[in-house]
Chains A and B, each alone.
Chain A
Amino acid sequence: MTDLLSKFDPLIQQRDDLLSSGLTDPFALVMEKVESPTVAICNGRRTILLGTYNYMGMTFDPDVVAAGKQALDEFGSGTTGSRVLNGTYVGHKAVEEALKDFYAMDHAMVFSTGYQANLGIISTIAGKEDYIILDIDSHASIYDGCALGNAQIVPFRHNDIEALEKRLKRLPPEAGKLVILEGVYSMLGDVAPLKEMVAVCKAAGAMVLVDEAHSMGFIGERGRGVAEAQGVIDDVDFIIGTFSKSVGTVGGFCVSNPPKFEILRLVCRPYVFTASLPPSVVATAATSIRKLMDSADKRAHLWENSKRLHAGLRQLGFKLGTDEPQSAIIAVLMPDLETGAAMWEALLDEGLYVNLARPPATPAGMTLLRCSLCALHTNEQVGEILGMFAAAGRATGCIS
């Protein structure tokens, strides 16, 4: 018998080598208690959370929690069904209404996760004769959406407007084209030049899909994302988003204006052949989305936090993913996986949780300590965080 798992031997070996040095496994952390959006107990220790994507801190919002409890009481623990059979409750329609209001768009379709939203929309709308033109640094869910479908896939260099334009011009003018971009790229926290790129796409007759997972609720005047901030949201055909970041629960969605959009509910397999979100989840999401519409003060504080952490880390001597803070993600570049893992553990010992990100999730083989701020991090916490980075950085030799 051939052991089908043998193909993972190199990865097993790499993990064994890393863990045999006595390091804590960075991919097996357990949170024993969660006190708030910014604090949890890990290994018995009070830990500041700086890697949760809980940008707007909605997970413990009293209105959000109350809505979830009420739905649990009134509608039970789950739908046990597909959206197109027995899995659409009033709550699912209500959260879709909240999304339509939030984005001021005509259609909203809610999926069970953000991953499934990309998987479903991308694989369904681009057929065999169509072309998908995508940024090379696109998220795994976008690539998997391409792999599930049959379209011709054309990647272009990250955030390179000219590379995108050249490729669009080389494609047959009559062919169907879908350009896939992200508002904020989650690994380095950099923002796409959507204003220029969307204009190039429209000139080439391409439809545009923008994944705004990491910008919803935070970027743009009304929190609609980078496309709003750069004034091109009306030219975007599909916006993909998630409930598992600023909204503070789980689920994914697509909002859109094209009139034929609703037919996707019948032909999109990752929407049809899976159970819908539990009533408590859609109730918390709808409540949270409506509160996010009116959160300008929190947005301002999150920007302040991001700017202060970015400047402070640079001052300490860390290399960062962007020269200026462009989002609530700040990526600290590590020289290699071993140093990255050691620094990650030193930070955890100090009482700080960040994400350790490594290839293949990262571009150019980088190892990153990815920090994502929350609007509920206090000024004092940001100060504490900088102190922990200083101590851990010196202990591991990352900074002098």
Chain B
Amino acid sequence: MPDRHQILAETLELIEPFNKKGVDVTEATRFAQDLEWDSLTVLDFVANVEDEFDVIITMNMQAEIETVGQLVDALDRLTAGK
């Protein structure tokens, strides 16, 4: 099972192709406000994250995730035991 640093690094890599604004991404970066992603971009990105980590991030969970750090925490929990 990957540790949190690994998860963060992989997540940042997955964000880059969608980082059209060239935002300097940190754990505090917010998907909607800072990266200005619309719902379709979110879908594409979430699909890539799900495939990379072999997990499901339900819309119920997505509603609670605003920042990169929160996503990494969620992935840390979801991949625990894998």
Contacts and interface: CB of A to CB of B under 8 A. Distances in A.
A153 interface: yes
B43 interface: yes
Interface string A135-170: 010000000001000001111110000010011001
A171 interface: yes
Given A156-B47, A163-B47, A170-B50, 16 more contacts: A146-B59, A152-B58, A152-B60, A153-B59, A154-B56, A154-B58, A154-B59, A166-B50, A166-B51, A167-B50, A170-B54, A170-B56, A171-B56, A363-B40, A364-B40, A365-B38
Interface footprint category on B: 10 to 19
Contacts of B28: none
A244 to B, nearest CB: 27
Interface string B32-51: 00000010100110010011
Q: Which of A154, A156, A166 has the most CB of B within 10 A?
A: A154
Interface string B43-82: 1100100110011101110000000000000000000000
A167 B50 CA distance: 9
Contacts of B38: 365
Contacts of B50: 166-167, 170
B67 to A, nearest CB: 21
Contacts of A363: 40
A102 B55 CA distance: 41
Contacts of A146: 59
Contact of A167 (B40, B56, B59, B60): B56
Contacts of A163: 47
Contacts of B54: 170
A152 B61 CA distance: 9
B56 A155 contact: no
Contacts of A166: 50-51
B77 to A, nearest CB: 15
Contacts of A131: 58
B43 A155 contact: yes
Given A163-B47, A166-B51, A170-B54, A155 B40 contact: no
A292 to B, nearest CB: 36
Contacts of B56: 154, 167, 170-171
Contacts of B47: 156-157, 163
A157 B39 CA distance: 12
27 contacts: A131-B58, A136-B43, A146-B59, A152-B58, A152-B60, A153-B58, A153-B59, A153-B60, A154-B58, A154-B59, A155-B43, A155-B59, A156-B47, A157-B43, A157-B44, A157-B47, A163-B47, A167-B50, A170-B50, A170-B54, A170-B55, A170-B56, A171-B56, A363-B40, A364-B40, A365-B38, A365-B40
Interface in A344-367: 363-365
A157 B43 CA distance: 8
Nearest to A166: B51
Nearest to A150: B60
A163 B58 CA distance: 14
Contacts of A154: 56, 58-59
A218 to B, nearest CB: 30
B25 to A, nearest CB: 24
Contacts of A155: 43, 59
A136 B44 CA distance: 11
Contacts of A152: 58, 60
B71 to A, nearest CB: 16
A171 B43 CA distance: 18
Contacts of B55: 170
A55 to B, nearest CB: 29
A146 B62 CA distance: 15
Most buried by A among B43, B50, B58: B58
B56 to A, nearest CB: 5
Contacts of A171: 56
B70 to A, nearest CB: 18
Contacts of B40: 363-365
Nearest to A160: B47
B48 to A, nearest CB: 11
Contacts of A136: 43
A223 B50 CA distance: 38
A131 B56 CA distance: 11
Contacts of A153: 58-60
